[in-house]
Chain A
Amino acid sequence: MTEGVAGPGLRARGFVESQKLANPDSPRPVEPGAAPPPPERKTLSRWIPALGVIVAWVVVWYLTDGKDTLSLPGVARTALHDDLTEINNDLLAGRDTNPVMLFTGALADALRSLVEMMQGIFSKPNLPRPVPEIGWLGVTACSTYVALVVANWRIALLVLASFLSFGVLGFWEQSLDLLIITGISVVIAVVVGMPLAVLVGTSARANRAITVVLDVMQTMPTFVYLLPVVLFFGIGIPSAVVATLIYALPPIVRIAGFGIREVPTTTIEATDSAGQTYWQRLLKVQIPMARKTIIVGLNQTILAALSMATLASFVDGPGLGKPVLAGLRINDVGTAFVPGALIVVMAVMLDRTTTAASERAEKVARGGGGDPRTRRILLIGGAVVTIVAVYVSRTYVDLARFPENTLGSRIADVVNDVMDWITGTFSGATGAFKDAITNGLLNPMESVLAESPWYVSGLGIAALALVFGGLRAMITTIICLAGIWYFDLWHDAMITLNMALVGTVLVMILALVFGVWMARDRRVDLGIRPLLDAGQTIPPFVYLIPVLALFGPSRFTAIVAGIVYAAPAAIKLVADGVKAVSPTTIEAGRSTGQTTWQEITKVQLPMAKGSLVLATNQGLLYVLAMVVIGGLVGAGALGYDVVYGFSRSEAWGKGLAAGITIVLLGVMLDRITRAAADKRRDDPGPRRAFFVRLPIGPPK
């Protein structure tokens, strides 16, 4: 698998950019006496040349169908792929001499012993003890107590129920392992990420450099770095931690950096004028004022870590991902269901706890937080109970090891029965839907993209890039296409691209319908938004379970999972964009007597264009990430190549080539859609804060 949960990482970028869209810098007023600004290019007419390109392409395809498609059978490899495999083998052979490999090896050992120590305390028998140092009762009590301290009693109850469910459903050890991997990765991500965030927030140059790196990291589906991570850190715990860390880092850097950068210049100037030092400015002004945003970043980092730690089961990382993966591999929904549900429980628990903790901190900072005396009694009482629980859990085996029961497996059986019933009853409907989309959209588009000669497809894509994104986007596109061609997987790349495009079209239809509806009706918004939030909290891996059950292993399953994964973000972006249209403009429009339909199509959507393009951008990358995981459930193409590369050592090079091809596709789609965003609104413009050189720099 593989997969790229471009998820919370991307979401971080979505967050930052949608915040930027919400307050676009007003264009600088024209200097007195300067020439009037040049008239701006009209953009709507882009669709006409685009249609021309497509028509021409279809005609050429019709004449040349099936020629020069560069198709490569699923298990075939080329010389280039074998060369890449060779590089891998050489590196592995030099494990004991190559200084880089020695260094990563030492790091891997350190991470492994850290995780194993934590496992000895919380989840696994700490030999010679037959049980962990702290039994389940103690761990549950401690966690509940922490929730009580940082949040409130409601969250404490949620945490208590979550931990009990881990045990009752029979996945105590895997749940704790997942939490350990997530926790360690988050701590390292914060330690590494906060200084980077400060750099991003305080220096224009660092911001530009780091943003470029983060952009690449986030358009990169995870398995692309899973391959090299495994190469350097070995299969198992260390790779799981490192991959999780890499994946969890961008949100905190991006979002916290954004928060720090958005601290108003006036406040910085005002406090600088009081003679503060660099550190005083950072610790007393910038970080406190950015605190809310930093916590959003932390929350996103935690959720990203959780979703990646789940996926790390693919490289034999411990945790709940393993039983899910095992279930998916044999297409057994019942087996995957219970651990999948527990992953959701864990995600909700972590999300709610961090959110509630930040709300509480806010309240306490402003002098609220309830009666201190009651609270003190509560805290002391809780501490006593916790200590007793830890003590007895070290003494009685039943309180150390969760008593076995069959509830989990009984649920799995029930789920299997229900699923059989559903698929039996609705197979007609789901099958018809699947066939309609497959035959109506997926197959025709795939024929044109993948069955045209490669140079025709390449030309067509480049021409569309020029139409939508302009010259620079076209140049990037040509470079990416050249790379795709070079790595010998052109045909697979076109099939994967087609899946991403079809998925995105469907996502955008959903986003427009629901986004506009939500923006125009507050009650709809209130009703739907929590669902979308929950959808964004769940690690994408989990989506595959129900979708697989409904549609069976196929391309279509991957696309549907991609849609389910991408839609919440896209819908929210559109809703927020339409909502941000100023009420004055809408009133002014209404005063001319326009119809509702005119209001939507002539005022709200055009004015929300920046958000629509951003939603398309995010939709494409999310869907791409998910259709690639689809390789695991029969979606074929690049995703399958990666999975195949992982499973056969002689095909490693082909897997790597597929991974790189996916990145190139992602970068290409990202660049085109971003360039398509209206320049004036997308461009952050010169920010005064960065041109004012604050005279007190970091300590030298």
Chain B
Amino acid sequence: MTITSEGQETSTAESAEPALSVRNLWKIFGPRADKVIGTPDAELSRADLKTKTGNVVGVKDVSFDVAPGEVFVVMGLSGSGKSTLVRLLTRLIEPTAGTICLNGMDVTSASEKQLRDVRRKQVSMVFQHFGLLPHRQVIDNVAYGLEVRGVPKKERREKAAEIVDLVGLTGYEKSYPDQLSGGMQQRVGLARALAGDPEMLLFDEPFSALDPLIRRDMQNEVIRLHSELGKTMVFITHDLSEALKLGDRIMILRDGAIVQIGTPDEVVARPADDYVKDFVSEVPKSHVLTLKWVMRDPRPGESLEGPALPVTTIVRQAARAAIASDHPIRVMDGDKLLGVVDEDDIMRVVVAEVES
């Protein structure tokens, strides 16, 4: 997960059928929501539309694909429509327009029964405020998804116990949610989502309510679970460092509309507009950018004796090699030489960061 290579990324996205495919998705809250789309009103800014018609745009004409096994992060300030978007995916909120396909199945036109099946077997969700059932023990909270499917008690408890172990809550099966700390409660939330063995997990700012240290633990937990279980994930956050840490790709929303979709290094290196630039200005670039963004063509006569590093190497990791070597580093994609990077190029990134 962390930073996947660009090449690998595009290849999966192109070859396999996407796990999730969203096209022209709209959600407008308000009295005559469906009358807005397709009219000139739809082009108005959110504030203007609100004053003019009383409708609030939650999600505005959003399209994207998520590849199987990918971690897709949706980011934006509070109120930018992230929660609305993630709820639209399983129709916890009804879309106003657009289509959503899960593994080729059209969710938007699914019957209630099909929709329940999707929620039971294919997609699970983890929520910011946990949403646990206070009157049930941890084990029964975790088993809830199995229970609503009609799995017999003994079987679902066995399965739940396994998952409780997996998320590191062994020994707390019989506790009640209010006896656990916030971080542990969210582990229960995670376990509940995993218990049904879904193909896809949706996270709505799952760690925003937690202390920074606990948050870091939980992020690592997600990384671990992703590498062990390989599930597709859609992860909502308003925290850029979390997005950069977890995301294979990041989608940035503003007022319900997409501003940019790209890999973490793309977003940092080439922000689509000032809004995104503002977001990423505080990011230590050397920790995110890969050599792809700093390399250049070799100057005539420049030495090509230096060490070879793959193009996906992060700048910070290349720094030591660049300083140790007298020759510029060769940036390679497999056997192909893409360009070179010398000490100065790297210093420019690091210094720019210190100055900003």
Contacts and interface: CB of A to CB of B under 8 A. Distances in A.
A266 B176 CA distance: 18
Interface stretch (B118-126, B283-291, B348-356): B118-126
Contact of B145 (A29, A34, A275): A275
A33 B116 contact: no
Given A32-B79, A695-B92, A695-B112, A274 B133 contact: no
A83 to B, nearest CB: 46
A190 B94 CA distance: 35
7 contacts: A33-B46, A266-B127, A269-B125, A269-B131, A272-B119, A274-B120, A275-B118
The binding surface of chain B is classed by DSSP as mixed
Interface of A: 29, 31-34, 264, 266-277, 280, 284-285, 288-289, 291, 365-367, 691-696
Contacts of A31: 46-47, 50, 79
Interface string B60-89: 000000000000000000010000000100
Contacts of A365: 135
B47 A34 contact: yes
B45 A33 contact: yes
Contacts of A33: 45-47
A285 B119 CA distance: 17
A270 B116 contact: no
Nearest to B117: A275
A202 to B, nearest CB: 16
Contact of B92 (A272, A280, A285, A288): A272
Given A31-B46, A266-B127, A274 B91 contact: no
A288 B192 contact: no
A26 to B, nearest CB: 14
Contacts of A693: 93-94
B47 A274 contact: no
Contacts of B196: 274
A288 B133 contact: yes
Interface in B134-177: 134-135, 144-145, 147-149, 174, 176
A278 B134 CA distance: 20
Contacts of A268: 131
B130 interface: yes
Contact of B119 (A32, A267, A273): A273
B90 interface: yes
Contacts of B120: 274-275
Complex A-B, nearest 3 residue pairs according to Cβ-Cβ distance, in ascending order: A270-B131, A275-B119, A275-B120
Contact of A696 (B45, B116, B132, B202): B116
B28 to A, nearest CB: 12
A76 to B, nearest CB: 55
Given A31-B46, A692-B92, A267 B135 contact: no
B215 interface: no
B293 interface: no
Contacts of A280: 148
B91 A275 contact: no
A219 to B, nearest CB: 32
Interface residue range, chain B: 35 or more
The binding surface of chain A is classed by DSSP as loop
Contact of B116 (A29, A32, A271, A277): A277
A367 B175 CA distance: 10
A695 B47 contact: no
Question: For B115, B148, B174, which residue has the most chain A Cβ atoms within 10 angstroms?
Answer: B148
A17 B310 CA distance: 66
Contacts of A271: 131, 133, 144, 148
B119 A266 contact: no
A270 B127 contact: yes
B193 to A, nearest CB: 8
A269 B131 CA distance: 8
B301 to A, nearest CB: 54
A270 B130 contact: yes
A692 B90 CA distance: 13
Nearest to A265: B131
Given A34-B51, A271-B144, A367-B174, 19 more contacts: A33-B46, A34-B50, A264-B131, A266-B130, A267-B132, A270-B130, A270-B192, A271-B131, A272-B92, A273-B92, A273-B125, A274-B124, A274-B196, A284-B148, A285-B133, A288-B133, A291-B135, A695-B91, A696-B116
B189 interface: yes
Contact of A275 (B29, B47, B94, B116): B116
Contact of B176 (A264, A269, A291, A366): A366
B238 interface: no
B129 interface: yes
Question: For B90, B112, B115, B128, which residue has the most chain A Cβ atoms within 10 angstroms?
Answer: B112
Contacts of B93: 692-693
Contacts of A273: 90, 92, 119, 123-125, 202
A289 B130 CA distance: 15
B176 A267 contact: no
B94 A267 contact: no
Nearest to A366: B176
A285 B144 CA distance: 10
A271 B127 CA distance: 11
B92 A289 contact: no
A113 B124 CA distance: 55
A538 to B, nearest CB: 33
Contacts of B118: 275
B127 A277 contact: no
Contacts of B135: 288-289, 291, 365
Nearest to A272: B92
Nearest to A268: B131
